[in-house]
Amino acid sequence: MNIGVPRERRTDEHRVGLTPAAVELFVSAGHPCVVERDAGRDAGFADVQYERAGARIVYSGEEVYGRAGLVAKVSKPTAEEAEWLQEGSVLMGFLHLAAGRRDRIQAMLDKKVTAIAYETIQQEDGSLPVLSALSHMAGLMVPQVAGTLLQSDHGGKGMLLSGVPGVPPAEVVLLGAGTFGMAAARAFLGLGASVYVLDLDLGRLQKIEAHLGIGRHIVMMVAHPTNIRKAVAFADVLVGAIHVPGARSPIVVTREMVRSMKPRSVVMDISIDQGGCVETSRPTTHHSPTFVAENVLHYCVPNMTSVVARSATHALTNAAWPYISAVATHGFDAAAASVHALQRGVATHQGRVINPMLAAHLGLPEVTS
Protein backbone atom coordinates (compact mmCIF):
# COMPACT_ATOMS: atom_id res chain seq x y z
CA MET A 1 0.00 0.00 0.00
CA ASN A 2 1.28 3.48 -0.89
CA ILE A 3 1.63 5.66 2.22
CA GLY A 4 1.49 9.46 2.13
CA VAL A 5 2.75 11.92 4.73
CA PRO A 6 1.53 15.45 4.01
CA ARG A 7 2.69 18.69 5.60
CA GLU A 8 0.19 19.74 8.28
CA ARG A 9 -1.72 22.86 7.29
CA ARG A 10 -3.57 23.88 10.43
CA THR A 11 -2.39 26.92 12.38
CA ASP A 12 0.59 26.23 14.64
CA GLU A 13 0.60 22.50 13.84
CA HIS A 14 4.28 21.57 13.86
CA ARG A 15 3.98 17.79 14.25
CA VAL A 16 4.14 15.33 11.34
CA GLY A 17 2.38 12.03 10.72
CA LEU A 18 5.42 9.72 10.64
CA THR A 19 9.08 9.89 11.65
CA PRO A 20 11.82 9.01 9.14
CA ALA A 21 12.46 5.81 11.14
CA ALA A 22 8.86 4.70 10.62
CA VAL A 23 9.08 5.51 6.92
CA GLU A 24 12.21 3.35 6.66
CA LEU A 25 10.35 0.44 8.24
CA PHE A 26 7.47 0.79 5.80
CA VAL A 27 9.73 1.09 2.75
CA SER A 28 11.76 -1.94 3.82
CA ALA A 29 8.50 -3.88 4.11
CA GLY A 30 7.62 -2.99 0.51
CA HIS A 31 5.30 -0.03 1.08
CA PRO A 32 6.26 3.00 -1.06
CA CYS A 33 6.12 6.27 0.89
CA VAL A 34 5.67 9.81 -0.41
CA VAL A 35 6.41 12.74 1.89
CA GLU A 36 5.57 16.35 1.16
CA ARG A 37 8.51 18.75 1.12
CA ASP A 38 9.17 20.27 4.57
CA ALA A 39 6.52 18.06 6.19
CA GLY A 40 8.85 17.28 9.10
CA ARG A 41 10.84 20.50 9.23
CA ASP A 42 9.20 21.98 12.33
CA ALA A 43 9.64 18.68 14.17
CA GLY A 44 13.34 18.61 13.34
CA PHE A 45 13.15 16.05 10.52
CA ALA A 46 14.78 17.22 7.29
CA ASP A 47 13.69 16.09 3.84
CA VAL A 48 17.04 14.38 3.35
CA GLN A 49 16.29 12.12 6.35
CA TYR A 50 13.08 10.95 4.70
CA GLU A 51 14.93 10.46 1.40
CA ARG A 52 17.56 8.35 3.11
CA ALA A 53 14.75 6.33 4.65
CA GLY A 54 13.55 5.55 1.13
CA ALA A 55 10.70 8.05 0.74
CA ARG A 56 10.01 10.08 -2.34
CA ILE A 57 9.77 13.82 -1.65
CA VAL A 58 6.98 15.57 -3.56
CA TYR A 59 6.25 19.26 -3.79
CA SER A 60 2.56 19.61 -3.09
CA GLY A 61 0.01 18.24 -0.69
CA GLU A 62 -2.30 17.45 -3.58
CA GLU A 63 0.30 15.08 -5.00
CA VAL A 64 0.69 13.31 -1.65
CA TYR A 65 -3.05 12.70 -1.44
CA GLY A 66 -3.19 11.72 -5.08
CA ARG A 67 -0.50 9.05 -4.74
CA ALA A 68 -1.43 7.64 -1.33
CA GLY A 69 -3.79 4.78 -0.54
CA LEU A 70 -3.17 5.51 3.14
CA VAL A 71 -2.62 9.06 4.44
CA ALA A 72 -0.89 9.33 7.84
CA LYS A 73 -1.69 12.69 9.36
CA VAL A 74 -1.79 14.36 12.74
CA SER A 75 -4.80 16.69 12.69
CA LYS A 76 -8.11 16.62 10.83
CA PRO A 77 -8.05 17.73 7.19
CA THR A 78 -8.68 21.29 6.12
CA ALA A 79 -11.25 22.10 3.41
CA GLU A 80 -8.47 22.00 0.82
CA GLU A 81 -7.24 18.62 2.03
CA ALA A 82 -10.79 17.23 2.04
CA GLU A 83 -10.95 18.03 -1.68
CA TRP A 84 -7.67 16.20 -2.27
CA LEU A 85 -8.80 12.97 -0.58
CA GLN A 86 -9.00 10.15 -3.09
CA GLU A 87 -11.96 7.83 -3.57
CA GLY A 88 -11.71 4.84 -1.26
CA SER A 89 -8.49 5.96 0.46
CA VAL A 90 -7.68 5.48 4.15
CA LEU A 91 -7.11 8.53 6.37
CA MET A 92 -5.55 8.17 9.83
CA GLY A 93 -5.06 10.98 12.35
CA PHE A 94 -6.57 12.84 15.29
CA LEU A 95 -9.81 13.72 13.51
CA HIS A 96 -12.15 14.93 16.30
CA LEU A 97 -15.04 14.87 13.86
CA ALA A 98 -17.75 15.45 16.47
CA ALA A 99 -16.31 18.91 17.03
CA GLY A 100 -15.63 19.55 13.33
CA ARG A 101 -17.56 20.88 10.37
CA ARG A 102 -20.21 18.62 8.96
CA ASP A 103 -19.18 19.38 5.38
CA ARG A 104 -15.76 17.79 6.03
CA ILE A 105 -17.47 14.62 7.20
CA GLN A 106 -19.74 14.73 4.17
CA ALA A 107 -16.71 14.99 1.87
CA MET A 108 -15.33 11.80 3.40
CA LEU A 109 -18.67 10.06 3.01
CA ASP A 110 -19.04 11.18 -0.61
CA LYS A 111 -15.58 9.82 -1.45
CA LYS A 112 -16.07 6.64 0.60
CA VAL A 113 -12.97 7.45 2.64
CA THR A 114 -12.15 5.14 5.52
CA ALA A 115 -11.41 7.62 8.30
CA ILE A 116 -9.68 6.16 11.35
CA ALA A 117 -9.57 8.51 14.33
CA TYR A 118 -6.61 7.92 16.62
CA GLU A 119 -8.55 9.31 19.57
CA THR A 120 -11.15 6.52 19.38
CA ILE A 121 -8.83 3.53 18.84
CA GLN A 122 -9.78 1.63 21.98
CA GLN A 123 -8.59 -1.55 23.67
CA GLU A 124 -10.88 -4.10 25.32
CA ASP A 125 -10.15 -2.61 28.73
CA GLY A 126 -11.36 0.82 27.58
CA SER A 127 -7.88 2.32 27.24
CA LEU A 128 -7.08 4.60 24.29
CA PRO A 129 -3.50 3.67 23.33
CA VAL A 130 -2.78 6.35 20.73
CA LEU A 131 -4.55 9.21 22.45
CA SER A 132 -3.00 8.25 25.78
CA ALA A 133 0.52 8.77 24.47
CA LEU A 134 -0.08 12.45 23.75
CA SER A 135 -2.45 12.92 26.70
CA HIS A 136 0.38 11.84 28.99
CA MET A 137 2.70 14.33 27.32
CA ALA A 138 0.14 17.15 27.59
CA GLY A 139 -0.35 16.34 31.25
CA LEU A 140 3.36 16.77 31.87
CA MET A 141 3.34 20.06 29.92
CA VAL A 142 0.33 21.69 31.56
CA PRO A 143 2.01 22.83 34.82
CA GLN A 144 4.73 24.75 32.98
CA VAL A 145 2.08 26.53 30.92
CA ALA A 146 -0.12 27.14 33.96
CA GLY A 147 2.78 28.54 35.94
CA THR A 148 3.53 31.01 33.17
CA LEU A 149 -0.11 32.07 32.83
CA LEU A 150 -0.32 32.78 36.57
CA GLN A 151 2.43 35.38 36.16
CA SER A 152 1.39 39.03 36.26
CA ASP A 153 3.04 39.74 32.90
CA HIS A 154 0.78 37.13 31.27
CA GLY A 155 -2.45 38.42 32.79
CA GLY A 156 -2.52 36.07 35.79
CA LYS A 157 -2.86 36.91 39.44
CA GLY A 158 0.88 36.90 40.10
CA MET A 159 1.11 33.57 41.93
CA LEU A 160 3.87 31.02 42.24
CA LEU A 161 2.50 27.49 41.81
CA SER A 162 4.56 26.11 44.66
CA GLY A 163 4.18 28.98 47.10
CA VAL A 164 7.03 29.73 49.52
CA PRO A 165 7.35 29.35 53.30
CA GLY A 166 4.61 31.48 54.79
CA VAL A 167 2.75 31.74 51.45
CA PRO A 168 0.41 28.91 50.42
CA PRO A 169 0.74 27.18 47.03
CA ALA A 170 -1.71 27.59 44.18
CA GLU A 171 -4.85 25.47 44.28
CA VAL A 172 -5.18 23.46 41.08
CA VAL A 173 -8.43 21.69 40.14
CA LEU A 174 -8.26 18.88 37.56
CA LEU A 175 -11.55 17.76 36.00
CA GLY A 176 -10.89 14.26 34.71
CA ALA A 177 -8.73 11.50 36.19
CA GLY A 178 -7.70 9.71 33.01
CA THR A 179 -4.21 9.49 31.52
CA PHE A 180 -3.93 13.26 31.25
CA GLY A 181 -5.26 13.80 34.77
CA MET A 182 -2.82 11.31 36.27
CA ALA A 183 0.19 12.87 34.52
CA ALA A 184 -0.94 16.42 35.30
CA ALA A 185 -1.57 15.61 38.96
CA ARG A 186 1.91 14.10 39.30
CA ALA A 187 3.53 17.08 37.57
CA PHE A 188 1.63 19.72 39.58
CA LEU A 189 2.44 17.91 42.82
CA GLY A 190 6.09 17.79 41.81
CA LEU A 191 6.08 21.58 41.59
CA GLY A 192 4.46 21.91 45.01
CA ALA A 193 0.90 22.91 44.06
CA SER A 194 -2.18 21.81 46.01
CA VAL A 195 -4.14 19.51 43.68
CA TYR A 196 -7.80 18.51 43.59
CA VAL A 197 -8.87 15.79 41.14
CA LEU A 198 -12.53 15.26 40.22
CA ASP A 199 -13.98 12.35 38.28
CA LEU A 200 -17.16 10.26 38.27
CA ASP A 201 -15.13 7.05 38.11
CA LEU A 202 -14.12 6.04 41.65
CA GLY A 203 -11.70 3.49 40.24
CA ARG A 204 -9.73 6.23 38.52
CA LEU A 205 -9.61 8.32 41.68
CA GLN A 206 -8.43 5.29 43.65
CA LYS A 207 -5.74 4.62 41.05
CA ILE A 208 -4.38 8.16 41.38
CA GLU A 209 -4.39 7.86 45.16
CA ALA A 210 -2.53 4.54 44.96
CA HIS A 211 0.10 5.94 42.59
CA LEU A 212 0.63 9.35 44.13
CA GLY A 213 0.09 8.56 47.79
CA ILE A 214 -1.92 10.14 50.56
CA GLY A 215 -1.08 13.36 52.33
CA ARG A 216 0.73 15.12 49.46
CA HIS A 217 -1.56 18.13 48.99
CA ILE A 218 -3.88 16.06 46.78
CA VAL A 219 -7.61 15.60 47.27
CA MET A 220 -9.88 13.28 45.26
CA MET A 221 -13.53 14.29 44.80
CA VAL A 222 -16.47 12.74 42.97
CA ALA A 223 -17.42 14.99 40.05
CA HIS A 224 -21.01 15.72 41.05
CA PRO A 225 -22.26 19.20 40.02
CA THR A 226 -22.14 20.40 43.65
CA ASN A 227 -18.49 19.38 44.04
CA ILE A 228 -17.55 20.86 40.68
CA ARG A 229 -19.22 24.15 41.59
CA LYS A 230 -17.41 24.22 44.95
CA ALA A 231 -13.99 23.38 43.49
CA VAL A 232 -14.25 25.82 40.58
CA ALA A 233 -14.96 28.68 42.98
CA PHE A 234 -11.67 28.29 44.88
CA ALA A 235 -9.43 27.20 41.98
CA ASP A 236 -6.45 29.33 41.05
CA VAL A 237 -6.00 27.03 38.04
CA LEU A 238 -8.89 25.01 36.62
CA VAL A 239 -7.94 22.32 34.09
CA GLY A 240 -10.73 20.60 32.13
CA ALA A 241 -9.89 17.21 30.60
CA ILE A 242 -13.24 15.52 29.95
CA HIS A 243 -13.17 13.06 27.05
CA VAL A 244 -15.93 10.86 25.64
CA PRO A 245 -14.52 8.75 22.75
CA GLY A 246 -16.12 9.82 19.47
CA ALA A 247 -18.46 12.38 21.03
CA ARG A 248 -18.37 16.07 21.84
CA SER A 249 -17.14 16.76 25.36
CA PRO A 250 -20.02 17.63 27.71
CA ILE A 251 -20.14 21.09 29.28
CA VAL A 252 -19.51 20.52 32.99
CA VAL A 253 -18.43 24.05 33.94
CA THR A 254 -21.05 26.70 33.25
CA ARG A 255 -20.52 30.41 32.69
CA GLU A 256 -22.02 31.02 36.11
CA MET A 257 -19.35 28.79 37.68
CA VAL A 258 -16.60 30.64 35.83
CA ARG A 259 -18.07 33.92 37.08
CA SER A 260 -17.64 32.62 40.63
CA MET A 261 -13.85 32.24 40.23
CA LYS A 262 -11.41 34.71 41.71
CA PRO A 263 -10.34 37.47 39.28
CA ARG A 264 -7.38 36.61 37.02
CA SER A 265 -7.57 32.92 37.82
CA VAL A 266 -6.74 30.56 34.95
CA VAL A 267 -8.96 28.13 33.01
CA MET A 268 -7.20 25.60 30.78
CA ASP A 269 -9.71 23.67 28.67
CA ILE A 270 -7.74 20.71 27.34
CA SER A 271 -11.01 19.21 26.02
CA ILE A 272 -11.27 21.99 23.44
CA ASP A 273 -10.29 19.66 20.58
CA GLN A 274 -13.57 17.85 21.28
CA GLY A 275 -15.58 21.06 21.68
CA GLY A 276 -14.56 21.95 25.24
CA CYS A 277 -16.00 21.22 28.67
CA VAL A 278 -16.21 24.83 29.89
CA GLU A 279 -19.06 26.99 28.61
CA THR A 280 -16.87 30.08 28.17
CA SER A 281 -14.19 28.28 26.13
CA ARG A 282 -13.35 28.81 22.47
CA PRO A 283 -10.36 27.53 20.49
CA THR A 284 -7.15 29.56 20.60
CA THR A 285 -3.72 29.14 19.01
CA HIS A 286 -0.14 28.99 20.22
CA HIS A 287 0.43 32.46 18.72
CA SER A 288 -2.57 33.86 20.59
CA PRO A 289 -3.21 31.29 23.33
CA THR A 290 -5.40 33.18 25.79
CA PHE A 291 -8.43 35.41 26.15
CA VAL A 292 -10.33 36.84 29.11
CA ALA A 293 -13.95 35.93 29.86
CA GLU A 294 -15.76 36.74 33.12
CA ASN A 295 -12.47 38.27 34.36
CA VAL A 296 -10.77 34.86 34.12
CA LEU A 297 -7.84 34.05 31.82
CA HIS A 298 -8.67 31.18 29.40
CA TYR A 299 -6.17 28.94 27.60
CA CYS A 300 -7.84 26.71 24.98
CA VAL A 301 -5.19 25.51 22.51
CA PRO A 302 -6.37 22.30 20.78
CA ASN A 303 -2.93 21.07 19.68
CA MET A 304 -1.05 21.70 22.91
CA THR A 305 1.78 19.23 22.26
CA SER A 306 2.50 20.73 18.84
CA VAL A 307 5.09 23.05 20.36
CA VAL A 308 7.12 20.01 21.44
CA ALA A 309 6.75 18.67 17.94
CA ARG A 310 9.75 16.36 17.82
CA SER A 311 8.92 14.56 21.07
CA ALA A 312 5.23 14.48 20.18
CA THR A 313 5.87 13.02 16.71
CA HIS A 314 8.04 10.26 18.19
CA ALA A 315 5.38 9.49 20.81
CA LEU A 316 2.59 9.51 18.23
CA THR A 317 4.46 7.26 15.81
CA ASN A 318 5.34 4.78 18.55
CA ALA A 319 1.72 4.53 19.66
CA ALA A 320 0.07 4.52 16.22
CA TRP A 321 2.60 2.24 14.53
CA PRO A 322 0.83 -1.10 15.20
CA TYR A 323 -2.41 0.20 13.69
CA ILE A 324 -0.92 1.96 10.66
CA SER A 325 1.23 -1.10 10.02
CA ALA A 326 -1.76 -3.45 10.24
CA VAL A 327 -3.71 -1.45 7.64
CA ALA A 328 -0.71 -1.08 5.33
CA THR A 329 0.22 -4.76 5.54
CA HIS A 330 -3.16 -6.46 5.45
CA GLY A 331 -5.52 -3.86 3.99
CA PHE A 332 -8.28 -2.21 6.00
CA ASP A 333 -10.86 -5.01 5.99
CA ALA A 334 -8.48 -7.71 7.21
CA ALA A 335 -6.82 -5.38 9.73
CA ALA A 336 -10.12 -4.26 11.23
CA ALA A 337 -11.35 -7.85 11.45
CA SER A 338 -8.30 -8.96 13.44
CA VAL A 339 -7.46 -5.84 15.45
CA HIS A 340 -10.56 -4.93 17.42
CA ALA A 341 -9.04 -1.77 18.87
CA LEU A 342 -8.56 -0.49 15.32
CA GLN A 343 -12.14 -1.33 14.45
CA ARG A 344 -13.36 0.92 17.27
CA GLY A 345 -11.36 3.77 15.75
CA VAL A 346 -13.24 3.77 12.45
CA ALA A 347 -15.32 6.91 11.99
CA THR A 348 -16.42 6.51 8.35
CA HIS A 349 -16.23 3.62 5.89
CA GLN A 350 -17.79 3.00 2.46
CA GLY A 351 -19.88 6.14 2.64
CA ARG A 352 -21.30 5.51 6.13
CA VAL A 353 -20.65 6.87 9.61
CA ILE A 354 -19.52 3.85 11.63
CA ASN A 355 -18.77 5.29 15.06
CA PRO A 356 -22.03 5.18 17.06
CA MET A 357 -21.24 8.27 19.15
CA LEU A 358 -20.46 10.29 16.03
CA ALA A 359 -23.60 8.99 14.32
CA ALA A 360 -25.70 10.03 17.31
CA HIS A 361 -24.09 13.48 17.32
CA LEU A 362 -24.94 13.91 13.64
CA GLY A 363 -28.46 12.57 14.10
CA LEU A 364 -27.79 9.56 11.89
CA PRO A 365 -28.91 5.96 12.47
CA GLU A 366 -26.23 3.71 13.98
CA VAL A 367 -24.63 1.29 11.56
CA THR A 368 -22.04 -1.46 11.90
CA SER A 369 -18.98 -2.06 9.79
Residue 247 CB neighbours (<10 A): 18
Q: Buried b vs exposed e over 59-93: b needs ≥16 C-beta within 10 Å? A: eebebbbebbbbbbbbbbbeeebbebbbeebbbbb
Q: Which residues have a catalytic role annotated?
A: 96, 273
Contacts of 145 (CB under 8 A, 6+ apart): 268, 299, 304
Could you give the CA distance from residue 77 to residue 274 in angstroms, rounded to a whole number?
15
From residue 120, give the alpha-carbon distance in Å to each of 88, 92, 123, 235, 338: 21, 11, 9, 31, 17
- Residue 24 C-alpha from the chain's centroid: 26
First CA to last CA distance, the chain: 21
- Residue 80 C-alpha from the chain's centroid: 22
77 neighbors 85 (Cβ within 8 angstroms): yes
The amino acid that residue 291 corresponds to is F
Q: How many CA atoms lie within 13 A of 323 on its CB side?
A: 33
Q: Buried b vs exposed e over 322-361: b needs ≥16 C-beta within 10 Å? A: ebbbbbbeeebeebbeebebbbbbbbbbeeebbbbbbbeb
254 neighbors 282 (Cβ within 8 angstroms): no
